[in-house]
A and B are shown apart, each in its own frame.
Chain A
Amino acid sequence: MTPPIRVDRLSKRFRRGVRHDSLRDLLPALFRGRRDGEHEEAEGDFWAVRDVSFEVERGAALGIIGPNGAGKSTMLKLLNRILRPTSGTIAIEGRSAALIEVSAGFHPDLTGRENVFLQGAMFGLRRREVATRFDAIVDFSGIEPFIDTPVKRYSSGMNARLGFSIAAHLEPDVLLVDEVLSVGDMNFQQRCVQRMHAFKRDGTAIVFISHDLGAVGALCDRALFLRSTVQAYGAVNDVITSYSVASVGGSISTGSEIVIERAMLERVDGGDPTSVSPGEPMRLVVDYRVEQGRGGLVLGLVLHRSMDGMVLYDGAFSTQEVGVDFTRAGMHRVVFDLAPHVTRGVYHFATHVWDPATHSIVSRLDPAASLAVHETRTYSGIADLAVRAAATH
């Protein structure tokens, strides 16, 4: 079965130059000649999105992340047919619902009730279809007492709740979501996330654009790091890691005397090492190639939270205590046994070789490996305290 969202070599160029938007301006411009106009175009053009390709399968979610001005919103508008691509193709199959700005389609003078019908009609629903879903929409939004109030009197949170509720009840085949979960209270955000998971289970293909890397990590299977062009595209935790490494200035660098050849993260039980529960027994296997032997070195192991680069752990292990001899040239392997007692999110390891005598890094691998931790117990926080709650008699 072909994926319901297929994007092939998509590009969008915007013209920053002078545009003739009245006939009065156009006529003199036509007489000035074409050469002038071409020059103008070339100067002012910029590519918001360039040569982007991806696919989203049924029941899968793709996160699009990137800094401000990276073309994320342009991408969503292209997917939603609001903008015309300069080149490339987009194929979308099925009923598509977009949440670009949840209350965008609302008319301020109409009541919530009237806007539910108007918004539903914009998504191509018949009045009857909206009517059968109406109670569920209002119920989910939790704004029932205000449903007959004009929406201009709604708070932004109420707007977002009603907007999301409408889209949530369309049973779309394709769902395009921008930063909408940032509005609304904790409880509502939680329900939105649950609803999006339910969409995935029902086979909806989701494109989720967000600055909240935590939310992307929790919902999406794959991610695309966009900065006009595709910087990284693949498994969500790898992409989040490369995005955060790129934005906090990290780099994959390694010295010349001692080279960190590779690092492999494994699960002790042999399962998928990139997707684990808190406290999962794991090992990070690091291979070093020593070109020029040195003694008295320290092996560093660092764990970052990928969404903001926060250091959760920074441990040092001397070559002596590890029992590895870096004075001898050649290949050396060190196994770090560990258990990441952290809450849900995307994390990445970095590892380095440190010379305490000169206070310098001899070699570094950042990121070394990434992992996504899944759990549903906590609302926020970093440390997993392995809490067991039980009643006593």
Chain B
Amino acid sequence: MTTSSPPIAVAAVRPAPARPRGALAEIAAHRDLLFLLAARDVRIRYKETVMGFAWALLLPLLVLASGVVIQFALTRVSGAPLDATRIAGVLVKSVPWSFFATAVGFATASVLTSASLVAKVWFPREVLPLASVAAQSVDLAVAAVAMTAGLAALGVGGHAASFWAVPLVGLLLALTAGLGLLFACANVFFRDVKYLVQVFLTYGIFFTPVFFDASVLGPRVTPWFMLNPVAPILEGLRLAIVGGHDLLVPLRLADGTLAWTPAYLAWSVVAAVGSIVAGLVAFHRSQDLFAELL
């Protein structure tokens, strides 16, 4: 068979890439799909529900309320007053934690909820968990606006160090996306991963400094507690936004507790980058097995 028409230019070469770089190129080529899937999630959540935008605030408000109760209990024990700073500290941490817990949960289930699509159409499957995280980050943005208003009402914040929030939120997004990819992939192979992740997220709040500051655990336990990769992000946000602390400077309390050190931040960077690389590699290597397992 010959054709008289000239051969057309190859629009996109798509041999099966085995490396994460290939995965990134594919995801980049499908970034509009990521956007559309995320927009679809957001639209369905905000348009066709009674709560609408209130959904974005419900979980952070519940976390905040729980945190205020716990802070109240702590002040009862210590005798210190329950001041605006303590409430602001919980407020600043309730928003990113709510994002983290919800986004990881949705991302974990994302491939299975789109099973019919995955079984029939090819596209880089990474966009499914990533779109879940992206959709959830809209909630994060809405909640962040409310949080800023809350801080203003409490008369806390306005420090220059607040700009640390930008890299910290970046780290949070990377960590969430990385774990979301890993768990979504595992959930295709083992259906109970979803429940396991849910249990960890529910009780994880007690192993993460959300309701309280990590430093209340004292000089010996605090550094161990900060090994939780979410902990330095939340503590960093609180110290920078509420305390106006420059995160490049270590902070040692009177009892010798190392409340902050740039090493905490470095660890968080390692965990976030590690999780996103591991997530992309694991996901990319196994995604062509998904259709058989669904």
Contacts and interface: CB of A to CB of B under 8 A. Distances in A.
Interface of A: 1, 14, 19-24, 26, 57-60, 77, 80-84, 90-96, 98, 100-101, 104-105, 107, 109-110, 114, 117-118, 121-127, 171, 173, 200-203, 221-222
A20 B199 CA distance: 22
A93 B11 CA distance: 9
B3 A200 contact: yes
Interface in B76-114: none
Contacts of A21: 189-191, 293
Nearest to B190: A23
Given A21-B189, A83-B288, A92-B15, A121 B3 contact: no
Interface in B236-263: none
B117 A104 contact: yes
B2 A59 contact: yes
A121 B30 contact: yes
A63 to B, nearest CB: 13
B116 interface: yes
Given A22-B190, A203-B8, A81 B288 contact: yes
A82 B288 CA distance: 6
Contact of A23 (B8, B16, B121, B192): B192
Contacts of B3: 58-59, 200-201, 203
Interface stretch (B32-40, B53-61, B154-162, B208-216): B32-40
Interface of B: 1-3, 5-8, 10-16, 29-30, 32-33, 35-37, 40, 44, 116-123, 189-193, 196, 288-289, 291-293
Contact of B1 (A19, A57, A101, A104): A57
Closest 6 A-B residue pairs measured CB to CB? Answer: A59-B3, A104-B120, A121-B33, A84-B288, A95-B11, A60-B1
Given A14-B292, A21-B293, A118-B36, A98 B11 contact: no
| A contacts with B: majority SS | loop
B33 A201 contact: no
B30 A122 contact: yes
B1 A221 contact: yes
A19 B122 CA distance: 24
5 contacts: A82-B288, A83-B292, A90-B16, A95-B14, A222-B1
A84 B190 CA distance: 19
A342 to B, nearest CB: 24
Given A104-B117, A122-B121, A201-B5, A24 B192 contact: yes
A21 B121 CA distance: 23
Given A84-B288, A104-B116, A200-B3, A121 B10 contact: no
Given A60-B1, A92-B15, A122-B30, 13 more contacts: A22-B190, A22-B192, A93-B15, A95-B10, A98-B121, A98-B122, A121-B33, A122-B33, A122-B123, A124-B29, A201-B3, A201-B5, A202-B8
